[in-house]
């Protein structure tokens, strides 16, 4: 039986990786840093997004049945990864981003990445604390290495395309806003499907390689957004 972590320890272990990653991405916004209050508000919106996400996932799981999810093979694993995890979690964050998109403080491309990461890490912090309370500190350490950074990267990708929509080519804004959701769901679904389909060293190897590739992808786009800043001197 896995011992439950004390609440205070669970909060510290659950929140620490999110705080580190949020500071890391916040410091990338060199030319016109976002107001910290707005970043905190985006973080809070992400935390609140766990409520509709968990409710939708629970309802859909009940609709298809636990037996099918356990015994349905590859289709059930794909449904679990793509629908119950990726769609149910990324859609509420994307809806929250639609309101952030209208903020006057969202005034350069990289701001999309910062707010996307803040939203994602607000969600990941709540999820991580709950997992540490339920499954123990060992799970918290593993999630700090893999799951929490993955959430941050999914949020960064979503935010990058929101930034492209707001400051990119005219006439493509709606398509880019829609693609922000599609990209985040695809990456999140692929990540969770690896966890569902593989085991042991193969799972950790695939997650590590995929995470490294996604880090490269995101950091290149952060650099691109930095260069596109109208405040760059």
* Of 81 and 8, more confident: 81
Reply yes or no on whether the pLDDT at 2 is more than 60: no
Domain that holds residue 78: 7-224
Asked whether residue 46 is assigned to any structural domain, the reply reads yes
Identify which of 161, 154, 167 has the alpha carbon closest to the alpha carbon of residue 180. 161
pLDDT tens-digit readout, 94-144: 999 999 999 999 999 999 999 999 999 999 999 998 888 888 888 778 888
**At residue 214, what are phi and psi to the nearest 5 degrees?**
-70, -35
Asked whether residue 157 is assigned to any structural domain, the reply reads yes
Asked whether residue 232 is assigned to any structural domain, the reply reads no
Tell me the pLDDT of the chain averaged across its residues: 91
Decide if 151 contacts 121 (C-beta within 8 A). Answer: yes
Asked whether residue 1 is assigned to any structural domain, the reply reads no
Asked whether residue 193 is assigned to any structural domain, the reply reads yes
pLDDT on residue 3:
54
Q: Which two tokens stand for residue 187?
A: 């990456």
**Orientation angle between helical segments 147-167 and 88-100, nearest 10 degrees:** 40
Asked whether residue 194 is assigned to any structural domain, the reply reads yes
* Of 44 and 70, more confident: 44
pLDDT on residue 56:
97
Rg of the chain, C-alpha, whole Å: 18
What's the CA gap between 175 and 140, in Å, rounded? 37
What's the CA gap between 79 and 83, in Å, rounded? 5
- Residue 84 DSSP code: I
**What's the distance, Cα to Cα, between the start and end of the chain in Å?**
58
Asked whether residue 77 is assigned to any structural domain, the reply reads yes
Number of folded domains that form the chain:
1
| Sign of the Cα pseudo-torsion (76, 80, 86, 91, in order) | positive
Reply yes or no on whether the pLDDT at 6 is more than 80: no
pLDDT band at 1 (very low <50, low <70, confident <90, very high): very low
């Amino acid at each position: 039986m896995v011992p439950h972590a004390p609440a205070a320890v669970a909060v510290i272990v659950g929140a620490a990786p999110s705080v580190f990653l949020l500071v890391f991405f916040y410091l990338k916004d060199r030319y016109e840093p976002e107001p910290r209050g707005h970043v905190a508000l985006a973080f809070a919106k992400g935390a609140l997004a766990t409520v509709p996400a968990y409710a939708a996932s629970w309802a859909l799981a009940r609709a298809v049945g636990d037996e099918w999810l356990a015994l349905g093979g590859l289709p059930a694993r794909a449904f679990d990864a793509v629908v119950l995890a990726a769609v149910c979690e990324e859609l509420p964050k994307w809806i929250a981003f639609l309101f952030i998109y209208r903020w006057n403080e969202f005034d350069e491309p990289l701001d999309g990445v910062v707010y996307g990461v803040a939203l994602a890490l607000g969600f990941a912090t709540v999820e991580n604390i709950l997992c540490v309370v339920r499954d123990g500190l060992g799970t918290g350490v593993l999630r700090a290495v893999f799951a929490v950074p993955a959430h941050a990267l999914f949020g960064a990708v979503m935010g990058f395309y929101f930034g492209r929509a707001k400051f990119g080519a005219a006439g493509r804004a709606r398509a880019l806003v829609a693609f922000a959701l599609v990209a985040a769901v695809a990456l999140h679904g692929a990540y969770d499907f690896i966890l569902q389909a593989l085991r042991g060293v193969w799972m950790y190897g695939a997650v590590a390689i995929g995470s490294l590739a996604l880090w490269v992808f995101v950091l290149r786009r952060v650099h691109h957004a930095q260069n596109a800043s109208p405040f760059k001197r």
